[in-house]
Amino acid sequence: MPGSLKKSGPPILDVRGLCMGIWSGKTELVAVADVSFRAYSGQVVALVGESGAGKSITAMSLTHLLPMPPIKITAGERRLSGRDMQTQSPKQIRDIRGNEVGIVFQEPMTALNPSLRIWRQIAEPLVRHRRMSWSAAKAQAIYLLKKVRIPDAETKAEAYPHQLSGGMRQRVMVAIAISCEPRLIIADEPTTALDVTVQAQILTLLTDLTRGLGGALLLITHDLGVVARYADWVNVMYAGRIVETAAADDLYRDGRHPYTHALLASVPKIVGPIAHRLESIAGQPPAPSDGTWGCAFAPRCSRRTERCDERPPHGGDDRTRNGHLFACWNPL
């Protein structure tokens, strides 16, 4: 279940007006435009949207895990515990990555080194950032395997990634991410290839461990069912922009943007009439090369008017509460 909406102290993560472009020859394509959000201690903050919405590129920009060039950050601020990430040197970024920011990638089989034993991969950030000896780091790695609820941790520590199940490999990724007790954990579609039961176990583990560390979890997902169960705050992204921001409960009860409604309508329901028809969203998201000036969702929106050819403001109306914002001329 979601944790707290309280904003305890300054934000751990503060993103303001982030803009990114992708250079194709001499042409700059807009990938992310004017993205702003915050994450506070104890919170799970979600970036949600279809594939290509800009979720992962936004998250990976926080620790410079992007090829630059062709990708370039063109404007905005990214602050981690008050520090401007744009002004950090490559060495400072490396020191932050894995130490103050832990990352759980979508596919552990490609993220883990196939030629190294499991304990060694968990121990590496401890040796690098905490200056532990390899023997002490191995003992800590086994402790962390137990903490992420891997049975027979001593034996599994000696295994190679291909010898573990998908769920266990993802638990190993969680162990690596929390090894240095980071302030921020970024989880990029962490349960995509897992069955429903294992998904719930991994996400519960991630949220419990993050809150236990007093940190924040940035959850990247397209799964609104996951968002409903685990997120405190939700940022709905479409075509590189945040189109709606709200507390999770508010979003599900009173979502205002047509795209948010379309996403919610496309989620299978396990209650209500058996004949409930699963909705789909007509059309395709625009490519960065399309260069949309107005509302990017307008070509797929049933509420489109001529005004939608203008860029909508990111604000609210007389129903707005608790920081609920949306970018739409014709909200529901």
Compute the distance between CA of residue 110 and CA of residue 120 in angstroms, rounded to an integer. 16
Compute the distance between CA of residue 325 and CA of residue 320 in angstroms, rounded to an integer. 7
Compute the distance between CA of residue 314 and CA of residue 312 in angstroms, rounded to an integer. 7
Check if the beta carbon of residue 100 is closer than 8 Å to that of residue 182.
Answer: yes
Classify the phi-psi angles of 26: left when phi > 0, otherwise alpha if psi is within -120 to 50, otherwise beta: alpha
Determine the number of helices (DSSP H) and then strands (DSSP E) in the chain: 11, 11
Give the CATH architecture of domain 13-100+180-326.
3-Layer(aba) Sandwich (3.40)
Check if the beta carbon of residue 180 is closer than 8 Å to that of residue 102.
Answer: yes
Compute the distance between CA of residue 300 and CA of residue 262 in angstroms, rounded to an integer. 10
Neighbours of 315 (CB within 10 A): 10
Neighbours of 107 (CB within 10 A): 16
Task: Spell out the domain ranges in the chain.
Answer: 13-100+180-326
Q: So what's the pLDDT on residue 292?
A: 73
Compute the distance between CA of residue 257 and CA of residue 329 in angstroms, rounded to an integer. 9
Classify the phi-psi angles of 81: left when phi > 0, otherwise alpha if psi is within -120 to 50, otherwise beta: left
Over residues 227-246, mean pLDDT: 95
Compute the distance between CA of residue 217 and CA of residue 230 in angstroms, rounded to an integer. 10
pLDDT, averaged across the chain: 91
What predicted TM-score, i.e. pTM, was given to this entire model?
Answer: 0.94
Look at residue 319 and tell me whether its pLDDT is greater than 80: no
Q: So what's the pLDDT on residue 9?
A: 85
pLDDT in tens, 278-295: 788 888 998 887 777 889
Q: What are the beta bridge partners of residue 78?
A: 15
Check if the beta carbon of residue 324 is closer than 8 Å to that of residue 245.
Answer: yes
Look at residue 78 and tell me whether its pLDDT is greater than 70: yes
What number of residues does the chain have?
Answer: 332
Compute the distance between CA of residue 258 and CA of residue 271 in angstroms, rounded to an integer. 23
Phi and psi (nearest 5°) for 216?
-125, 150
% of the chain beyond a pLDDT of 90? 73
Over residues 11-18, mean pLDDT: 97
